[in-house]
Structure 1
Amino acid sequence: MFFYRKGILKTYRLPVPVISVGNITTGGTGKTPVVEYLAKYAGKKGKRVIIISRGYAPMMQQGKDAASNEMCNDEHLLFKENIPGIMNILGKDRVKSGWEAINRRQAECLLLDDGFQHLRLLRDMDIVLIDTLEPFGYEYTLPRGLLREPLEGLRRSDLFLLTHTDQISPEKKTDGNQPAP
């Protein structure tokens, strides 16, 4: 991150809005359902939205009914099943994938799935999900804690979404000084 802030590593801006959905901790914070919701919302507003994903393992073979026999991951299969009208491009190079989405697929909006730590592609909005069950990853970065980066990284966020709020106790929802309602 230091090298991007100092301009040593180059960043790229694309000519369409780019919205990143990510987190600062490892694990399931609920990014996939949020990306699905945003994709459906943009689609209902008439925008041609495309999801750009890194394509992390576990990798699996697409079914025989797929147009191609390429490798994909479980999030890709969920997107395909839950939002079949929305394309998901997998690739390590998100800038290249973004240009492909714009030039070959006429994307009007890009959603970066798990893109908060990917600083090479500039975003118009960074949405960070915080898991209320363990919001700050024991306050240590990997491998001691669950943080992907130091908590100062949250300053880059434009919006926080708290997830798993239905699973925490009423006491944990308060600041600790006031009794639960």
Structure 2
Amino acid sequence: MIARIWSGESPLWLLLLPLSWLYGLVSGLIRLSWRLGLKKAWRAPVPVVVVGNLTAGGNGKTPVVIWLVEQLQQRGVRVGVVSRGYGGKAARYPLLLTPQTTSAEAGDEPVLIYQRTGAPVAVSPARVEAVQALLANHTVEMVITDDGLQHYQLQRDKEIVVIDGERRFGNGWWLPAGPMRERASRLKTVDAIITNGGVAQPGEIPMRLQPGLAVNLRTGEQRSVSELPRLVAMAGIGHPPRFFATLQACGAPVEKTVALADHQALTEQDVSALLAPGQSLIMTEKDAVKCRAFAGANWWYLPVDAHFPDAQAQELLQQLLTLAR
């Protein structure tokens, strides 16, 4: 229902317009207070790069963060990552991730980034505190924030926005009548726009999410997803249909799809109940970080990587390397 409202297909968005106007007024006043210096932003002693979005819901932001971190690491830059940690609740903040940190504590995306990149990751609702914790405990030359475009307390050197090339901005309205955290005019002030799927507009950097081999949660065995028998596909991400479409494009024999809420907590009982005898489970890598501790023998995840088909992404990467030097 929310997808139909935000796309404009359902007229119910008209009923929510007064709340959207209020959201836009409040968010605009907050941003203006930082721009006018009425509130003081903090500048880190190292470059800060924000990877965010203008809309609620999954746009492919986390794969972009992972790609940037890995590319910078390969070029000798020591990178740290900070995140709000949606879906997690730590005993105290800021939280520095370790191999023992669970998604229940830190949220699924920070754990995924930590496991994929090995970079130091700090989580806090106050991103300034997360950056300070990174600097106090690790030698980092650059900080990348996973989300945080609207977190103006932290000054930034580069702003990168990731948009969904298929859904774009829906009906264009602020939450809750539409998907927008800020209006599309905000794109005029950012340093780079990465478009995930669809057709990139002039000035945007095209990106595709490229699937790899399916990985067994228990054993680490890798296998083509098309070879797995009788699949139930589960996705607890911002836009589950993208994952299901990826599986279809890979020729996966999917018998049932289950769309969950983004960052939804998962238990062994809840997940096991999705399967009938003889079926296998395929999930996103983001869901896998929440299920690995209790995974069944026939549970798999499909990792995806950000893939950039042209030279624009390399130009952006070179700009970041210049910042780090």
TM beyond 0.5: yes
> Is 2:157 aligned against 1:124?
yes
2:116 aligns with 82
1:66-89 Cα deviation digits (max 9, x unpaired) = 445771211022113322x21211
- Evaluate the alpha carbon distance shift between residue 68 and residue 75 of structure 1 in structure 2; reply closer, same or farther with a 3 A threshold: closer
Give the number of the structure whose residues are more often helix, by fraction: 2
TM-score by length of 1: 0.82
> Is 2:167 aligned against 1:134?
yes
Matches within 5 A, 1:21-170: 21-57=51-87, 66-67=99-100, 71-83=105-117, 85-165=118-198
What is the distance in 2 between the residues matched to 1:58 and 1:120? 22
Instruction: Tell me the SS of whatever aligns to 1:71.
Output: helix
1:19 aligns with 49
Tell which deviates more after alignment, 97-106 or 37-46.
Answer: 97-106
What percentage of aligned pairs have identical amino acids?
Answer: 35
Instruction: Tell me the SS of whatever aligns to 1:29.
Output: coil
Tell which deviates more after alignment, 14-23 or 132-141.
Answer: 132-141
TM-score by length of 2: 0.47
Instruction: Tell me the SS of whatever aligns to 1:25.
Output: coil
Contact 2:101 2:111 (8 Å CA) reproduced: no
Alpha-carbon RMSD = 2.2
Instruction: Tell me the SS of whatever aligns to 1:137.
Output: coil
- Evaluate the alpha carbon distance shift between residue 155 and residue 161 of structure 1 in structure 2; reply closer, same or farther with a 3 A threshold: same
Structure 1 unaligned regions, length at least 5: 168-181
Contact 1:49 1:107 (8 Å CA) reproduced: yes
Structure 2 unaligned regions, length at least 5: 1-30, 91-97, 199-207, 209-241, 243-325
Contact 1:102 1:108 (8 Å CA) reproduced: no
What is the distance in 2 between the residues matched to 1:68 and 1:56? 14
Bigger Cα Rg: 2
What is the distance in 1 between the residues matched to 2:101 and 2:171? 42
